[in-house]
């Protein structure tokens, strides 16, 4: 159990303790808190410096986070294995290097999962619902063609 007399709440990107006031100032700097981000076939993979210790004093501070967000028009729940496994998925890290490595690993995993055959990944009901939506392309193969990338570190 953490000794809260020695507990520090906020840390900079190098893992050095900072005041909550300094944390708030740094959170306003998009170039500081954003580590990496990618969009893959509508899914958003985001890695950021959160600066608040999510280990809550129990071990090395967890101050970076990677999350996966499903497309906004996606149907949550049901039998869709992509949503069950990836939507809202979160990992936390102690350093920027570990966060970048985790981001790259999850990006590769997400790309592999999304590149699988649509029949292997989506149920017929998912495809039917998507085809009926106003945003659906006439040719469902276009789902497998969209891959927009942006990296917070311009790589």
Beta strands in 56-152 (DSSP E): 64-69, 90-93, 149-150
**33, 27 Cβ separation under 8 angstroms:** yes
How does DSSP classify residue 97?
A: H
- What pLDDT, in 10s, does the model give residues 92-112? 999 999 999 999 999 999 998
- Give per-residue pLDDT as tens, 116-137: 634 444 444 454 455 555 444 4
Q: Which regions in the chain score pLDDT beneath 70?
A: 1-7, 73-80, 116-155
Instruction: Please name the residues in contact with 67: beta carbons below 8 A apart, sequence gap of 6 or more.
Output: 45, 46, 88, 89, 90
Q: What pLDDT score was predicted for residue 135? A: 47
Instruction: In whole angstroms, give the CA distance from residue 14 to residue 65.
Output: 15
- Check residue 84 and give its pLDDT: 73
pTM for this model (two decimals): 0.69
pLDDT at 73: 59
Distance from the first to the final alpha carbon of the chain? 40
Among 47, 50, 52, CA closest to 104: 47
């Amino acid at each position: 159990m953490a000794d809260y007399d020695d507990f520090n709440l906020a840390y900079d990107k190098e893992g050095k303790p900072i005041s909550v006031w300094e944390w708030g100032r740094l959170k306003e700097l998009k170039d500081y808190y954003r580590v990496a981000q990618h969009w893959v076939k509508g899914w958003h993979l985001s890695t950021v410096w959160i600066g608040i210790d999510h280990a809550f004093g129990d071990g090395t501070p967890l101050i970076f986070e990677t999350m996966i967000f499903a497309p906004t028009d996606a149907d949550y729940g049901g039998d869709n294995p992509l949503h069950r496994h990836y939507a809202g998925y979160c990992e936390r890290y102690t350093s920027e290097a570990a966060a970048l490595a985790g981001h790259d690993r999850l990006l590769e995993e997400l790309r592999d999962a999304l590149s699988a055959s649509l029949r292997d990944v989506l149920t017929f009901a998912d495809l039917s619902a998507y085809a009926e939506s106003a945003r659906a392309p006439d040719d469902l193969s276009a789902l497998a063609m969209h891959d927009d990338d942006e990296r917070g570190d311009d790589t």
